[in-house]
Amino acid sequence: MEPLKLVAVSAGLSSPSSTRLLADRLAEAVRDELAGQDRKVEVEVVELRDLAVAIANNLVTGFPPPALGAAIDAVTEADGVIAVTPVFTASYSGLFKSFFDLIDPHALTGTPVLVAATGGTARHSLVLDHALRPLFAYLRALVVPTAVYAASEDWGSGGDEYTEGLPTRIRRAGGELAGLMTAVRDARDAQDQEEGADGTTEFERQLADLRFD
């Protein structure tokens, strides 16, 4: 069985950044969950800050340079995507939006996606529901129920009796993404086994063999 492919997209601008840190934590949670299911996974991180000039040029010319093309292919061919952006002006960053503007509107159809964001204050956490979920709903992706927002005060906090801490939310979101990834991959593998290269089902091929005999 081929390993699952997980791609984490980080739109953090600094290095290191809390956005990349959150992307890594989420990817680790997915990997741990899949390891518990005895499923192998290959993880790739796409740092948009390294592709900023290429993204701008692609928007103008319509042609992606090799590195950007490889990043787009990695996202569209993944079994699961983690998309993390810093909050700018109460929404996702322009770099984050510009990258996903380059992806064909049908390329992520049915792909499990975990959305997450970072910001200086918890007051911006609604960006997950009023900006990120609609974006990936438009792209027809399967967005997991738990979205993760990390404010500055969340790092190093385990929560209390009234609120969940960031580690708990990361584990739950990672588990949800892992579950969707395996379910979608297994369904696609079953469909591939059922249908041949010519589009015929296994039953139709067996029937044709009987007629030939």
pLDDT in tens, 121-155: 888 899 999 999 999 999 999 999 999 999 988 88
User: pLDDT per residue over 18-29, tens digit each?
Assistant: 999 999 999 999
Q: Taking every pair of C-alpha atoms in the chain, what is the biggest distance, in angstroms? A: 72
Task: Give the count of beta carbons closer than 10 Å to the beta carbon of residue 95.
Answer: 19
Query: Do residues 121 and 151 make contact, with C-beta atoms less than 8 angstroms apart?
Result: yes
Mapped onto helix, strand or coil, the DSSP state of residue 153 is helix
* Measured distance CA(38)–CA(55) in Å, rounded: 37
**Residues 6+ positions from 66 with CB-CB distance below 8 Å:** none
Q: CB-based contacts of 73: which residues, under 8 Å, 6+ apart?
A: none
Give me the amino acid identity at 198.
D
Nearest to 8 by CA among 83, 78, 70: 83
Given a cut of 50, whether residue 200 has pLDDT beyond it is yes
Q: 4-212: what fold?
A: Rossmann fold (3.40.50)
Residues 6+ positions from 97 with CB-CB distance below 8 Å? 135
Rg, the chain, Cα only: 19
Instruction: Record the pTM.
Output: 0.88
**pLDDT band of 202, cuts 50, 70, 90:** low
- In tens, the pLDDT along 166-187 reads 999 999 999 999 999 999 999 8
